[in-house]
Amino acid sequence: MDTPLTFTEPARELEVSAEYDVLVVGGGPAGLTAALAAAEDGLKVGLLESRSFVGGNMTIGLPVLGFLGQKGNQVIYGLPQKFIDRLKVRDAASEHRPCPLHMGITLVEPEAVKTVGLEMLTEAGVDVVFYTFVAGVIMSDDGSAIRGVITESKSGRNVVIAKVVIDCTGDADVAYRAGVATEKGNEHGGMQPPTLMFCLSNVDTEKLRTSIAVEKRTYLTDFIPAEYFGQNNQFIVVGLRELIAKARTERNLEIPNERTIIITGLKKGEVWINMTRVTGTDGTDARSLTNGEIVARRQIDDIVEYLVNYVPGFEDAHFTKTAPFLGIRETRRIVGRYTMNEQDVLGCRHFEDAIAVASYPIDIHRPGDEGCTLIWCGDCYDIPYRSLLPAHIENLIVAGRSISATHEAMGAIRVMATCMAMGEAAGRAAGIAVTQDILPSEVDIHALRRKLLDNGAYLRGLEGERLTPETEDVSVPA
Ligand SMILES: Cc1cc2nc3c(=O)[nH]c(=O)nc-3n(C[C@H](O)[C@H](O)[C@H](O)COP(=O)(O)OP(=O)(O)OC[C@H]3O[C@@H](n4cnc5c(N)ncnc54)[C@H](O)[C@@H]3O)c2cc1C
C-alpha cells in the first residue's frame, strides 16, 4: 500500500474563545440534560453543538423509548420527564404509551424538540454555541486531564477551556481525541447500520391500525398482538414481513429491511418510516457517512412504492421529507472504569454506584444482515457511574450511547430516555466535582445519588422499590 501523502501543519497561536466550569460537547438527548443539570448549580456551563439545533437523534422522527420498564412502571423521571412535560405544554409530546415490543413509546414533535430544548438551555443560562465542531483537545502537561478542546467553525480554529468536560457526542469524539481507549462494533467490528428516517403525509393511520387489528392473518406484526392496534391510535408497526416479500417478488423492489417499521407522528396523517439501512457504514468517517447518505436516499423510492401499494392506509400517502441527517446507531464506545455487558442487562443487575435505571431490551439491528436481535430481561437494570468515567482521563465524563458498554449492552442502553438520564447524572456529577474542586472520579457516589433523587430522578432498591433521598443508602451486593 502506498504511504498516504501527509503535511505537517505549522504550529500557531489559538485564541481562547470561552472558558467554562463545565463544557458539554454535543447537544443530543444526553448533552441537553447534562448541560441543564450542570447549570442548575449556578455553574458557568457551555454547550458546543456542530449542528444548528439541539436534540440530536430526537429530531429525526423517532419516538423516545425507555421511559417505561418491562413491568410497565416508569423508570426514568427527573430532567428527562421535565423535558417531556415542557413539550406537552405545546402538544408536542404524547403520554408514555405502553407497547408490547418497545415497553413504552413517547412520541415527540421534532421541531418542538429543537425549540423547547433551546428555550430550556437559554433559560438555565447555558452558553449554547452552534455550528461548532470539536476537532481536538488540549491536554495537561502530564496527559492526565483535558485543559480544553479545539473547535473548528466559521470563526476559525479556537480553544475552549473547561474544568470538567462532558462528552455527549455519541461518537466519543472528545474522549477518543484525548487518547481514551475506545471500541467499535461487535467482535468483528461490525456496527449496527444507520438509517435515514423519512416522513410521509396523508396516511390513513386509522385504516392502518384497524386493518392490522381485524385482518390479523394478512398483516402480521412482530411481538405486538393485533388487538393492540385495535386499542391504540398512536403506535409503532414492526413487521408485515410477508408484504415486503410479496412486493419484492411482484415489483422487484429493493427493500433493505426485512421488517416494515412505521411510527405514527403527532400530526394527523403523518408517519415516520424507519426502513432504510446502509450496512458497513462507519459514522466516524466522513466518506463513509457520505456514502451512507447517498445509498439511503436511493433506497427511499422503492420503500415508498412498497408502502403505497401494499400497506393499508398508505394508498393516498405522499413523501414529504427526510430527517436532517443520517441516523447513526453505533460508533465508538469508551473503555471506562466498568464496562457494562450483556449479563448485566439480562441479569437485571443492581450496582452500588447506579446513577440511572433502564429497562429497554437488547435491540441490535444486526450489522451483517437485514434482521434484528431482541432480548428482554423481564425487569430493569442499573447503569453504574463508573461506566461514564474513562479509565484514565481525570476530568472527563461521557454520557449517552458511547459510555463503556459492550456491543450487546450498548444495544440496550442506547435509547433516548436512558441517554437523557445518563446526561442528567453526568451534569450533576460535574456540578459536585467543580463545586468541591475534586475530580469526577472522587465524587461521593451517595452524594451524587442523593442529589439525583432530590431532583426527582428514579433509582431503585433491592426489591425494585423507588428510592428517596432518605432511603438512598440501601446496601447493594457488588
Ligand atoms: C435510525 C435510528 C433509530 C433509533 N430508534 C430509536 C427509537 O425509536 N427510540 C429511541 O429512544 N432511540 C432510538 N435510537 C437510538 C437513539 O436515537 C440514540 O442512541 C441516542 O439519540 C443517543 O443519544 P446521544 O445524546 O448519545 O447522541 P446523539 O443523539 O447522536 O447526539 C449527539 C449530538 O452531538 C453532536 N456532535 C457529535 N459530534 C460532535 C462534535 N465533534 N462536536 C460538536 N458536536 C458534536 C451531534 O450533532 C448531536 O447533536 C435510534 C437511533 C437511530 C440512529
Q: Does the Cβ of 419 fall within 6 Å of ligand 1?
A: yes
pLDDT of residue 474: 74
As beta bridge partners, residue 74 has: 68
* Residue from 391, 428, 396, 405 nearest 358 by CA: 405
Where helices occur in 349-444 by DSSP H, the ranges are 407-413, 416-436
Determine the residue of 169, 176, 177, 277 to mutate for testing ligand 1's pocket, defined as the one with the most ligand atoms within 8 A of the Cβ atom. 169
Are 106 and 64 spatial neighbours (Cβ–Cβ below 8 Å)?
Answer: yes
Question: Binning pLDDT at 50, 70 and 90, where does residue 36 land?
Answer: very high
Q: Does the Cβ of 51 fall within 6 Å of ligand 1?
A: yes
Q: Does the Cβ of 416 fall within 6 Å of ligand 1?
A: yes
Question: Binning pLDDT at 50, 70 and 90, where does residue 475 land?
Answer: low
Percent of the chain past pLDDT 90, that is, above it, reads 93
Determine the residue of 33, 271, 416, 418 to mutate for testing ligand 1's pocket, defined as the one with the most ligand atoms within 8 A of the Cβ atom. 416
Neighbours of 234 (CB within 10 A): 18
CA of 186 relative to ligand 1 center, distance in Å: 19
pTM for this entry:
0.97
* Residues with Cβ within 8 Å of residue 406, at least 6 apart in sequence: 333, 339, 340, 341, 342
Question: Binning pLDDT at 50, 70 and 90, where does residue 478 land?
Answer: low
**Residue 62 Cα: closest atom of ligand 1:** 8
Residue 1 has pLDDT above 70, yes or no: no
Instruction: State pLDDT tens for residues 310-360.
Output: 999 999 999 999 999 999 999 999 999 999 999 999 999 999 999 999 999
* Residue from 242, 258, 262 nearest 250 by CA: 242
pLDDT of residue 397: 98
CA of 259 relative to ligand 1 center, distance in Å: 22
Instruction: State pLDDT tens for residues 368-422.
Output: 888 889 999 999 999 999 999 999 899 999 999 999 999 999 999 999 999 999 9
Nearest CA to ligand 1 atom 17: 57
Strands of 259-346, DSSP E? 260-264, 271-273, 318-322, 332-334
Instruction: State pLDDT tens for residues 66-110.
Output: 999 999 999 999 999 999 999 999 999 999 999 999 999 999 999
Cα dist from 82 to 37, 78, 93, 95, 182, whole Å: 12, 6, 12, 13, 32
Q: Does the Cβ of 134 fall within 6 Å of ligand 1?
A: yes
CA distance 148 to 144: 12
Mean pLDDT of 217-222: 88
CA of 82 relative to ligand 1 center, distance in Å: 19
CA of 328 relative to ligand 1 center, distance in Å: 7
pLDDT of residue 4: 85
Residue 41 has pLDDT above 90, yes or no: no
Q: Does the Cβ of 414 fall within 6 Å of ligand 1?
A: yes
**Residue 26 Cα: closest atom of ligand 1:** 34
Instruction: State pLDDT tens for residues 192-207.
Output: 999 999 999 999 999 9
CA of 168 relative to ligand 1 center, distance in Å: 9
CA distance 154 to 145: 28
Residue 359 phi, psi dihedral angles, 5° rounding: -150, 0
pLDDT of residue 470: 93
Full set of structural domains in the chain with CATH = 15-95+108-187+330-454 (3.50.50.60), 198-322 (no CATH)
Question: Binning pLDDT at 50, 70 and 90, where does residue 3 land?
Answer: confident
Cα dist from 427 to 38, 75, 170, 274, whole Å: 4, 19, 16, 31
Residue 114 has pLDDT above 80, yes or no: yes
* 3 state DSSP class of 80: helix
As beta bridge partners, residue 158 has: 15, 151
Nearest CA to ligand 1 atom 39: 169
Question: Binning pLDDT at 50, 70 and 90, where does residue 219 land?
Answer: confident
CA distance 405 to 387: 7
CA of 56 relative to ligand 1 center, distance in Å: 5
CA distance 371 to 455: 40
CA distance 315 to 292: 29
Where helices occur in 216-274 by DSSP H, the ranges are 226-231, 241-251
Residue 477 has pLDDT above 60, yes or no: no
Q: Does the Cβ of 279 fall within 6 Å of ligand 1?
A: no
pLDDT of residue 473: 84
CA of 227 relative to ligand 1 center, distance in Å: 32
CA distance 279 to 356: 31
Q: Does the Cβ of 274 fall within 6 Å of ligand 1?
A: yes
Comparing 477 with 169, the larger pLDDT belongs to: 169
Q: Does the Cβ of 25 fall within 6 Å of ligand 1?
A: yes
Q: Does the Cβ of 62 fall within 6 Å of ligand 1?
A: yes
Please state, rounded to an integer, the average pLDDT across all residues of the chain.
Answer: 96
Q: Does the Cβ of 96 fall within 6 Å of ligand 1?
A: no
Q: Does the Cβ of 56 fall within 6 Å of ligand 1?
A: yes
Neighbours of 156 (CB within 10 A): 10
